[in-house]
Amino acid sequence: MSGYFFTFEGIDKSGKTTQAELLADRLHKAGREVVFTHEPGGTPLGQAIRALVVEGKTQGEICDEAEVLLFTADRCQHVWEVIRPALEAGKVVISDRYFDSTLAYQGYGRRLDLGWLVSLQEKATGGLHPDRTFLVDVDLETSKARGGLQGSDRLETGPEALYKRIRNGYFALAEKEPDRFICLDGRESMEALSKRIFEVVGPMI
Residue numbers at the binding site for ligand TMP (CB under 6 A): 12, 39-40, 54, 71, 97, 101-102, 105-106, 155-156
- 55-70 per-residue burial string, b: 16 or more CB within 10 A, e: under 16: eeeeeeeeeeeebbbb
Contact 82, 117 (CB under 8 A): no
**Shortest CB 182 distance to ligand TMP, Å:** 18
Closest CA to 49 of 62, 37, 60: 62
Of residues 106 and 125, the one with the C-beta less far from ligand TMP: 106
For residues 35 and 90, what is the distance between their CA atoms, to the nearest angstrom?
11
**Shortest CB 16 distance to ligand TMP, Å:** 7
Of residues 65 and 199, the one with the C-beta less far from ligand TMP: 65
**Shortest CB 97 distance to ligand TMP, Å:** 4
For residues 168 and 109, what is the distance between their CA atoms, to the nearest angstrom?
9
**Shortest CB 40 distance to ligand TMP, Å:** 5
Of residues 102 and 133, the one with the C-beta less far from ligand TMP: 102
Residue nearest to ligand TMP (CB): 105
**Shortest CB 200 distance to ligand TMP, Å:** 21
**Shortest CB 104 distance to ligand TMP, Å:** 8
Alpha helix (H) ranges present in 9-159? 16-29, 44-53, 64-78, 84-88, 99-101, 114-125, 140-145
Of residues 40 and 130, the one with the C-beta less far from ligand TMP: 40
Of residues 90 and 150, the one with the C-beta less far from ligand TMP: 150
Of residues 52 and 54, the one with the C-beta less far from ligand TMP: 54
| DSSP SS3 for 120 | helix
For residues 138 and 118, what is the distance between their CA atoms, to the nearest angstrom?
25
Contact 65, 53 (CB under 8 A): no
Q: Residue 27 carries which side chain, given as an amino acid letter?
A: L
